[in-house]
């Protein structure tokens, strides 16, 4: 089984730590990076090539939407926005986010988002053209 590579970007260290602590302790998951700004997240995504990114909406450098817009279509992982702001949901799905999780969230909600993202990643790897993220 191939590990799902996960990157977490949130400007709040406690929020990053909480999200990571709520992810299932599973050998099929690997945290490949944690970043505190949008610009760091873009660089990390390009370098670490995660399958899934849990991305805060409002961060220094650039916001979550700008992170996604700053990536070429072939560079884009499955994106799950994790934010305290519901007002960005329509825009998030406009950039083809897989899910949108509102803070505060619980383990069950995060696992649902992870399952959706994993299904997306697996469909994309299987060549399902409907699962491609396009710019």
Lookup: tokens for 48: 């670490």
Q: Give pTM, 2 decimals.
A: 0.91
DSSP, collapsed to helix, strand or coil, labels residue 6 as: strand
The pairing of strands 52-55 and 4-9 is: parallel
Walk along the chain (135 residues) and give the pLDDT tens digit of each residue: 579 999 999 999 999 999 999 999 888 999 999 999 999 999 999 999 999 999 999 999 999 999 999 999 889 999 999 999 999 999 999 999 999 999 999 999 999 999 999 999 999 888 865 544 444
What CA–CA distance (Å, rounded) separates 75 from 63?
17
């Amino acid at each position: 089984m191939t590990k799902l590579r996960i990157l977490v970007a949130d400007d709040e260290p406690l929020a990053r730590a909480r999200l990571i602590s709520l992810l299932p302790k599973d050998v099929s998951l690997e945290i490949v990076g944690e970043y505190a700004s949008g610009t760091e997240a873009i660089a990390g995504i390009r370098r670490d090539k995660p399958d899934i990114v849990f991305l805060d909406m409002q961060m220094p450098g650039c916001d979550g939407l700008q992170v996604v817009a700053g990536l070429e279509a072939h560079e884009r992982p499955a994106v799950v926005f994790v934010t305290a702001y519901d007002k960005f949901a329509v825009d998030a799905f406009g950039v083809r986010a897989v899910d949108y999780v509102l803070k505060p969230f619980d383990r069950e909600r995060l696992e649902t988002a992870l399952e959706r993202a994993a299904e997306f990643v697996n469909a994309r790897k299987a060549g399902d053209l409907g699962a491609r993220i396009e710019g």
